[in-house]
């Protein structure tokens, strides 16, 4: 059972070929500077056939496509047909950068392999069941009806994957069922999710991936009136403000660097703004842990994932510092360990478990694709 996972971006095509009988990655590739998606798919097929995995796309059992925005239509992985494509097209205004690139990948793959099942797996669908009080903004309600303005949340595939792994682990090793989890996906993009018994009940990203935690170059939460102020004071137009908040802010805006490894290095060498950027990054995460502990009426475990969450002991330590009143106590020695498996970092007296779980969005997309073609809805 060979399933190809495609992540078609505006300037890159990422792909992984899985053998789902043994959950093994057969091939993993990245084609950058993609201007022509048709050429990119051809190059990908050449690479896969060069390795003897397939001769043509039609030899695959299925293709799973990552799609960023599923709006309110897509609550689960969905078999792709003309109707699915049209519905994803209708969602372009909600994700003008991502959905068109995802769609190009889908259309090309269907052109080359029209007869194999293809499945769209959405970044938003894990959060599709958020309660209304968590996803409706304090705006006139008609804006929700008319313009679909609400919290959708993203990184769903990652939060879903690590939360399932955490739940299995907590059941097997701690006899804990129906856990209340706070999942922290900390990479270039960063988000938190509150997960109650397998269901996402709140998440920090909003209608777009701009809200919430401080990120590599995105501001995360801020007072929206800052935008009106800037527009009035500087004459900045919408595109300039969009660029400012999405591309020039966050860690990069504060210390001119968005790579956390380098920021930590600069901070160790005494750079004040790098130190400040790390403090703001960790403090924002801490506040969300507090909020989600309240939303969940107590947390059983916190999960660190994403490039920063999985690899940075320094950041995990700062996030968990002075949280003992919430029952969160990190064991500094355990925090220095590294493993490809699940790590447990809490001290013996910590009420809340602190887990590090390596995310694997591609495997989750392959698994969901497999399930969707096996049990079509
Ligand atoms: P993306 O969101 O693009 O998938 P990743 O999840 O790969 O990104 O995370 C990238 C971030 O992880 C970068 O800021 C990088 O510096 C950071 N990172 C990776 N390894 C470490 C490490 N050992 N210490 C601190 N940060 C790290």
Question: What is the distance between the alpha carbons of residues 61 and 277, in angstroms, rounded to a whole number?
Answer: 46
Q: Which residues of 149-178 are buried (b: 16+ CB within 10 A; e: fewer)?
A: bbbbbbbbbbbbbbbebbbebbeeeeebee
**What is the spatial distance between Cα 29 and Cα 288, in angstroms, rounded to a whole number?**
35
Ligand 1 center–CA 107 separation, angstroms: 31
Predicted local confidence at residue 125, as pLDDT: 97
The arrangement of secondary structure in 2-122, i.e. its CATH architecture, is 2-Layer Sandwich (3.30)
Domain locations along the chain:
2-122, 174-361
Q: Quick one: DSSP state of residue 222?
A: -
CB of 214 shorter than 6 A to ligand 1 = no
Give the three-state DSSP class for 180. strand
The pLDDT value given to residue 131: 98
Task: Answer yes or no: are the C-beta atoms of 336 and 316 closer than 8 Å.
Answer: no
CA distance 26 to 352: 37
Tokens of 229: 């102020």
Q: Whose CA is nearest to atom 23 of ligand 1?
A: 311
- As a whole number of angstroms, the distance between CA 325 and CA 298 comes to 12
Kindly state the DSSP code that residue 29 receives in the 8-state scheme.
E
Q: Which of 11, 186, 308 should be mutated for ligand 1, with most atoms under 8 A from CB?
A: 308
How far apart (Å, rounded) are the C-alpha atoms in residues 229 and 372?
48
CA distances from 197 to 69, 75, 151, 296, 345 (A): 24, 18, 21, 10, 22
Q: What pLDDT, on a 0 to 100 scale, did the predictor assign at position 34? A: 84
On whether the pTM is more than 0.85, the answer is yes
Alpha-carbon distance of 143 to 128, in angstroms, equals 18
pLDDT at 340: 83
Cβ–Cβ contacts within 10 Å for residue 271, how many? 16
174-361, which class in CATH? alpha beta
> Are β-strands 199-203 and 12-19 bridged in parallel, bridged antiparallel, or unpaired?
unpaired
> Which token pair is 52?
């003897």
Distance 281 CA to ligand 1 centre (A): 13
C-beta of 260 in contact with ligand 1 (< 6 A): yes
Residue indicated by tokens 């929206």: 224
Q: Is 312 in the pocket of ligand 1 (CB under 6 A)?
A: yes
- Cα-flanking dihedrals φ and ψ of residue 146, to 5°? -80, -40
What is the C-alpha to C-alpha distance for residues 225 and 221, in angstroms, rounded to an integer?
12
User: Would you state the structure tokens that stand for residue 87, as one six-digit string?
Assistant: 């519905």
DSSP for 111-138 reads HH-TTS-EEEEESSGGGTT--HHHH--S
Is residue 176 within 8 A of residue 298, CB to CB? The reply is: no
Q: Is 327 in the pocket of ligand 1 (CB under 6 A)?
A: no
Q: Is 12 in the pocket of ligand 1 (CB under 6 A)?
A: no
Is residue 186 within 8 Å of 304, Cβ to Cβ?
yes
pLDDT at 45: 94
The residues assigned a catalytic role are 123
Residue with tokens 């792994």: 165
Instruction: Report the pLDDT value the prediction gives residue 36, as an integer from 0 to 100.
Output: 87
Query: Would you say the CATH fold of 174-361 matches that of 2-122?
Result: yes
Number of C-beta neighbours around residue 329 at 10 A? 17
Per-residue pLDDT of the chain (377 residues; tens, 9 = 90+): 999 999 999 889 999 999 999 989 999 999 998 878 889 999 999 999 999 999 999 999 999 999 999 999 999 999 999 999 999 999 999 998 899 999 999 999 999 999 999 999 999 999 999 999 999 999 999 999 999 999 999 999 999 999 999 999 999 999 999 999 999 999 999 999 999 999 999 999 999 999 999 999 999 999 999 999 999 999 999 999 999 999 999 999 999 999 999 999 999 999 999 999 999 999 999 999 999 999 999 999 999 999 999 999 999 999 999 999 999 999 999 999 988 889 999 999 999 999 999 999 999 999 999 999 998 77
């Amino acid at each position: 059972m060979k399933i190809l996972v495609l992540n078609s971006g505006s300037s890159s095509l990422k792909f992984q070929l899985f053998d789902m009988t043994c959950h093994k990655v057969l091939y993993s590739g990245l084609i950058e500077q993609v201007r022509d998606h048709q050429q990119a798919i051809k190059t990908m097929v050449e690479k896969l056939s060069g390795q003897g995995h397939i001769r043509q796309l039609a030899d695959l059992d299925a293709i799973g496509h990552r799609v960023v925005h599923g709006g309110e239509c897509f609550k689960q992985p969905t078999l792709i047909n003309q109707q699915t494509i049209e519905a994803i097209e209708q969602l372009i205004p909600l994700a003008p950068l991502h959905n068109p690139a995802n769609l190009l990948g889908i259309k090309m793959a269907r052109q080359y392999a029209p007869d194999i099942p293809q499945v769209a797996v959405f970044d938003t669908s894990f959060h599709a069941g958020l309660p209304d009080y968590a996803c409706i903004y304090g705006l006139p309600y008609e804006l929700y009806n008319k313009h679909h303005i609400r919290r959708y949340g993203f990184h769903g595939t990652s939060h879903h994957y690590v939360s399932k792994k955490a739940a299995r682990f907590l059941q097997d090793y701690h006899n804990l069922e129906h856990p209340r989890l706070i999942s922290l996906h900390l990479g270039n993009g960063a988000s938190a999710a509150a997960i109650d018994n397998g269901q996402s009940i709140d998440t920090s990203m909003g209608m777009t991936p701009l809200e919430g935690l401080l990120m590599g170059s995105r501001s995360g939460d801020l007072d929206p009136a800052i935008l009106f102020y800037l527009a009035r004071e500087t004459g900045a137009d919408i595109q300039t403000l969009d660029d400012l908040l999405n591309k020039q802010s966050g860690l990069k805006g504060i210390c001119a660097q968005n790579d956390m490894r380098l920021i930590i290095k600069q901070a160790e060498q005494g750079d004040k703004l790098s130190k400040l950027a790390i403090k703001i990054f960790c403090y924002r995460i801490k506040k969300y842990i507090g909020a989600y502990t309240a939303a969940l009426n107590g947390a059983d475990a916190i999960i660190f994932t994403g490039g920063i969450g999985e690899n940075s002991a320094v950041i995990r330590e700062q996030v968990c510092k002075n949280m003992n009143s919430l029952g969160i106590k990190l064991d500094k020695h355990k925090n220095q360990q590294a493993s490809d498996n699940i790590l447990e970092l809490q001290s013996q007296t910590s009420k809340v478990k602190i887990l590090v779980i390596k995310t694997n969005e591609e495997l989750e997309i392959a698994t969901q694709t497999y399930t969707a073609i096996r049990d079509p809805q």
